[in-house]
Structure 1
Amino acid sequence: MPGLTHCQLYLQRLGYDSPPPPTLQTLRELQLRHVCTFAFESLSTLMHLPVPIDLPSIEQKVLLDGRGGYCFELNYLFLSLLQALGFDARGLTGWVVMGGPPDARTGRTHRLSLVTLDGVRYISDVGFGGMVPSSPLQLDTEATQATAHEPYRLTFNEGCYTLWAQVGEEWRGLYVFDLQPQADIDYEIGNWYVSTHPASTFVGQLKAALLAPGQRHTLSNANYAVHSLDRPSEKRAIDSADELLALLQTTFGIRLPVQPQLREALERLVKA
């Protein structure tokens, strides 16, 4: 919108008419509103396109072009908003272990943020796909922590923290991280791997996620699921590119890029 700064536009998208104060309640509201407003999505890597992670490129893509993004984009955008609002916040990186042993050491391919409020440290994450925490989590405790969705907890061992989510009766390890300061090049290296390496789970693949009150909507290639807190998950396979396009636009709120290879990539997924 003409005349609005990116920060003002971002706040408008999150439902704010004026900048809120840098408090824990604000952090909770911002994080929940973000994960229910901006989709996690990998359309660029599906189409083998570059994923620039400088702030102007992210602001253009997410705030102006109506897209979503993944952790190196969404968490940088969110961190820039927190810092503009006066929060004491900085970026971190971690190793994703979801789907594998919780003590595995993969590459540093996840970005998140550390926020300190009145001497208490929290992690804030708006870019972990279908299992993104919908509330900030206090760092220096191993107690189970309620969020707006599932319970989470953090454990600490040998200088590293592990984030766990309770799914049903099971605790699942999501990622491991430490508090080592990160430079821009650290994020560039992680993003290069995620967006270009043949072994990356994002290259040539479609992933999307968006939260709603009591629900998580997820898309993995042509497999769509709605996970609810109060009833069993609903899962189905999408069998046409047109249905995938409609789902991305309506359910995930993504303004689709005008790229000729998008339909071709989606048709490949539904035929796989």
Structure 2
Amino acid sequence: MNDGIGLDAYLARIGHEGPLAPDLATLATLHDAHVRAIPFEAIDPLLGRPVSLDLPVIHDKLVAGRRGGYCFEQNLLFKAILERVGFNVVGLAGRVRWMSPPGAPLGPRTHMLLKVDAPEGPHLADVGFGACLIDAPLRFATGVEQRTTMGTFLLLESEGIYELRAKQPQGWRSMYVFTLEAQLPSDYMLGNWFTSTSPLAPFTKNLTMEHIVGDRRWKIVNRRLVTEARDGEVAVERDIADAASLAETMRTHFGMEPPAPAEEILARIGA
């Protein structure tokens, strides 16, 4: 299949050497390996750079270039890989609720997620929610707590609208809401354009990164480095002192080189 994706290069990038089959074991293995190998990062919107959704460009950036990306890039790449393996995958869109107070109006569809059919039943797959990375596919089973290595998640449904929540130290926190309406590439183009260019979108003014390593989540939020244990329990939090510290943090905990001088990245925060 000539879709611009090198399957062998992707598998090497995530460190997967086992068998591949359209079953739950493969889906879970690839999902976990992906989030542990490819960090979430939205540095290009912060730098005012365009974010392409063309698969060859995404492959060059996340696989060959050993960068990270945000939800549209991550989940478009993962969708293409799963389809290559033989899965039936439907791209969905979510309305992010992570920073919204209870009862706030719903915002636009600015998040991409996947519905994946496996012999064991449909599963939600999402390797690109950077506020709380999901490290395993979740069953489309509502009202049931689902524990993964790094978190506990709860899927709810009311009148055809699904809500995904994550357990946090303060209790359940809404991640996003979505329906089962399949999205077109043009739908993602609009969401990606808003998310990567609008001054109302958080990624154009904030440095946001997350990576799962071992039993810890590493997060950069502007000039703060946060390390979390399971279910969002903060283990360490400290300031990123300067550009040199930011560059070293990216290399050490996120496995990537800064895509621009670290001084430039810091200068763009809040600009």
TM-score (norm 1): 0.92
Kindly state the Cα deviation for residue 18 of structure 1 after the two structures are TM-superposed. Answer: 5.7
Of 247-256 and 156-165, the range deviating more from structure 2? 247-256
Of 96-105 and 72-81, the range deviating more from structure 2? 96-105
C-alpha contact (below 8 Å) 1:40/1:68 kept by paired residues: yes
Of 67-76 and 10-19, the range deviating more from structure 2? 10-19
Kindly state the Cα deviation for residue 232 of structure 1 after the two structures are TM-superposed. Answer: 4.5
Q: Secondary structure at the match of 1:129?
A: coil
* 1:29 matched residue in structure 2: 29
Q: Secondary structure at the match of 1:140?
A: coil
Q: Secondary structure at the match of 2:195?
A: helix
Aligned-residue CA RMSD (Å): 2.1
Q: Does 1:8 pair with 2:8?
A: yes
Kindly state the Cα deviation for residue 95 of structure 1 after the two structures are TM-superposed. Answer: 0.1
Kindly state the Cα deviation for residue 33 of structure 1 after the two structures are TM-superposed. Answer: 0.9
Q: Secondary structure at the match of 1:156?
A: strand
Question: 1: CA distance between counterparts of 2:230 and 2:188?
Answer: 34
Q: How does 1:59-70 map to 2 (within 5 A)?
A: 59-70=59-70
* 1:263 matched residue in structure 2: 263
Kindly state the Cα deviation for residue 256 of structure 1 after the two structures are TM-superposed. Answer: 2.6
* 2:230 matched residue in structure 1: 229
Q: Does 1:53 pair with 2:53?
A: yes
* 2:110 matched residue in structure 1: 109
Question: 2: CA distance between counterparts of 1:202 and 1:138?
Answer: 29
Question: 1: CA distance between counterparts of 2:44 and 2:181?
Answer: 29
Of 75-84 and 141-150, the range deviating more from structure 2? 141-150
Question: 2: CA distance between counterparts of 1:42 and 1:101?
Answer: 23
Structure 2: 5+ residue stretches without partners: none
* 2:97 matched residue in structure 1: 97
C-alpha contact (below 8 Å) 2:94/2:111 kept by paired residues: yes
Question: 1: CA distance between counterparts of 2:200 and 2:51?
Answer: 17
Kindly state the Cα deviation for residue 265 of structure 1 after the two structures are TM-superposed. Answer: 2.9
Structure 1 24/213 Cα, relative in aligned 2: closer, same or farther at 3 Å?
same
Supply the AA of the counterpart residue of 2:189: E
Of 197-206 and 185-194, the range deviating more from structure 2? 197-206
Of 185-194 and 123-132, the range deviating more from structure 2? 123-132
Q: How does 1:120-199 map to 2 (within 5 A)?
A: 120-168=121-169, 170-199=171-200
* 2:216 matched residue in structure 1: 215
Kindly state the Cα deviation for residue 12 of structure 1 after the two structures are TM-superposed. Answer: 1.4
* 2:39 matched residue in structure 1: 39
* 1:84 matched residue in structure 2: 84
Query: What's the % identity of the aligned pairs?
Result: 36
Q: Secondary structure at the match of 2:128?
A: coil
Kindly state the Cα deviation for residue 204 of structure 1 after the two structures are TM-superposed. Answer: 3.0
C-alpha contact (below 8 Å) 2:46/2:268 kept by paired residues: no
Structure 1 11/214 Cα, relative in aligned 2: closer, same or farther at 3 Å?
same
Kindly state the Cα deviation for residue 129 of structure 1 after the two structures are TM-superposed. Answer: 0.8
Question: 2: CA distance between counterparts of 1:221 and 1:14?
Answer: 27
Q: Secondary structure at the match of 1:112?
A: strand
TM-score (norm 2): 0.92
Supply the AA of the counterpart residue of 2:52: P
Note the alpha carbon deviations across 1:192-248, whole angstroms, 9 max, x for none.
Answer: 000000110000321100002221100011111000139742111112011111111
Question: 2: CA distance between counterparts of 1:199 and 1:62?
Answer: 26
Structure 1: 5+ residue stretches without partners: none
Correspondent of 1:241 among 219, 240, 243: 243
Structure 1 221/233 Cα, relative in aligned 2: closer, same or farther at 3 Å?
same
Q: Secondary structure at the match of 2:98?
A: coil
C-alpha contact (below 8 Å) 1:163/1:174 kept by paired residues: yes
Kindly state the Cα deviation for residue 168 of structure 1 after the two structures are TM-superposed. Answer: 2.3
Kindly state the Cα deviation for residue 15 of structure 1 after the two structures are TM-superposed. Answer: 2.1
Question: 2: CA distance between counterparts of 1:154 and 1:173?
Answer: 10
C-alpha contact (below 8 Å) 2:39/2:210 kept by paired residues: yes
Q: Secondary structure at the match of 1:90?
A: strand
Kindly state the Cα deviation for residue 124 of structure 1 after the two structures are TM-superposed. Answer: 0.2
Question: 2: CA distance between counterparts of 1:177 and 1:268?
Answer: 32
Question: Which stretches of structure 1, 4 residues or more, deviate above 4 A after TM superposition?
Answer: none
Aligned residues: 266
Kindly state the Cα deviation for residue 66 of structure 1 after the two structures are TM-superposed. Answer: 1.3
Question: 2: CA distance between counterparts of 1:226 and 1:73?
Answer: 24
